[in-house]
Amino acid sequence: MNTIDDVLIRMDQIVEECKAKQSRIGYFAILYRQVTRRVKDGILAGEFEDNPRMEVLDVLFAKRFIDAYDRWALRETCTESWRLAFEASKDSKHLVLQHLFLGINAHINLDLGIAASETMVGKDLIGIQGDFNRINALLAELVDGVKSNISKVSPIFGWLIPLAKGRDEMLLNFSIQIARNGAWKYAGEYHADPNKEFQVSDRDKNIAVLANKLISPGKFLAFIVKIVCLLEWKSVSKTMDQLDVVVEKSIS
C-alpha cells in the first residue's frame, strides 16, 4: 500500500470480511475507515501543515493495523496489544464500546508513535507534531460522536455513567487526549532510540496492561456491563451497519 486510496480499498475489504464472518473486529474497522476517509478529505482540502506528508503518515499508520489484522488471521504473531483486541472480538460478552476502545488503545498508544517516527526518518520529529495532533483530533471527534449516540447500538449504555460515578474505571474514563499525549512522548522515545525492537516490545507490554483493564473492568462495572451487553444488538453485521451510520454522522 502506497496511497490513502490503497488503504481505503483494503479497509473496505476488511469491513466486508468482518461482516461475512460476524467478526467484532469490524467495529473498529468501521470507525477507522471513516477516520481514513476524513483524512483523505482533509488532504484534498489542504487542511494539514504538510498534506503529502500526511498521506505518508496515514498509510504507515493504517498499515500497522492492517498488518496486525492479516497476521492474526494467518495465526501469526502480532503485537500483544492487538492480539488482545483480536481475541476479545471472539467474545460476545464485551460491549461495542469496549471493542472500539481496544482497537484505539493499540492503534494510538502503540502504532501512532511508530508511524510518526517512520514518517520523519532522518528528520526532527517536532516537525510533525501539529499534524500528529490533528489526526488525533479527528479520531477524538469521531469517538465523542459515537459515545454521544451509542444508544443506537447499545440502548441502555447510558446507565453505566451514573452507576459508576466516582469509580476509577478505565472503560469510562478512556481519554483520546491522554492517549495522544502518551503517544507523542513515546514517538520521541522511539525516534531517538536506535534499538527499535526493544522500544516496540517494551511499549507493547505496557499497552497490553491497559488492554486487559479494558477487557476486565472492576467487579461492579463488570456486572453492569453484563446487563448492558444483554440488550445490545446481537447481529454483528447489523451492529456494524448501524455503527457506520453513527460514525458517518459524527464527522459531518
Q: Which pLDDT belongs to residue 168? A: 45
105-109, 114-118, 232-236 — most confident range: 114-118
Burial class of residue 131 in the structure, from the number of CB atoms within 10 Å of its CB (0-12 exposed, 13-18 middle, 19+ buried) = buried
Percent of the chain with pLDDT over 90: 60
| Window from 13-22, 86-95, 156-165, 182-191 with minimum mean pLDDT | 156-165
Q: Which pLDDT belongs to residue 198? A: 97
How large is the average pLDDT for residues 27-34?
94
pLDDT of 166 > 60? The answer is no
How large is the average pLDDT for residues 160-171?
54
Q: Name the pTM for this structure.
A: 0.88
Three-state SS string over 202-228 comes to HHHHHHHHHHHHHHCCCHHHHHHHHHH
pLDDT digits (tens, 9 = 90+) for 232-243: 656 889 889 988
Rounded to whole angstroms, the Cα distance separating 187 from 113 reads 4
Task: Tell me the three state secondary structure of residue 238.
Answer: helix
CB hemisphere CA count around 146 (13 angstroms): 28
pLDDT of 7 > 50? The answer is yes
99-148-155 Cα angle (round to 5):
70
pLDDT digits (tens, 9 = 90+) for 207-217: 999 899 888 87
Dihedral sign (CA 60, 38, 241, 108): positive
Q: What is the mean pLDDT of the chain?
A: 86
Rounded to whole angstroms, the Cα distance separating 64 from 1 reads 11
pLDDT of 9 > 70? The answer is yes
CA distances, 4 to each of 30, 64, 240 (Å):
16, 14, 22
Dihedral sign (CA 104, 105, 108, 114): negative
| Window from 186-195, 211-220, 238-247 with minimum mean pLDDT | 211-220
Rounded to whole angstroms, the Cα distance separating 97 from 106 reads 14
Percent of the chain with pLDDT over 70: 80
Task: Tell me the three state secondary structure of residue 48.
Answer: coil
Angle formed by the axes of helices 129-148 and 176-192, nearest 10°: 150
Q: Domain residues of the chain, as ranges? A: 4-251
How large is the average pLDDT for residues 211-231?
72
Burial class of residue 243 in the structure, from the number of CB atoms within 10 Å of its CB (0-12 exposed, 13-18 middle, 19+ buried) = buried
Q: If pLDDT is split at 50, 70 and 90, which confidence band does 193 have?
A: very high
How large is the average pLDDT for residues 103-130?
95
CB 150 within 8 A of CB 97: yes
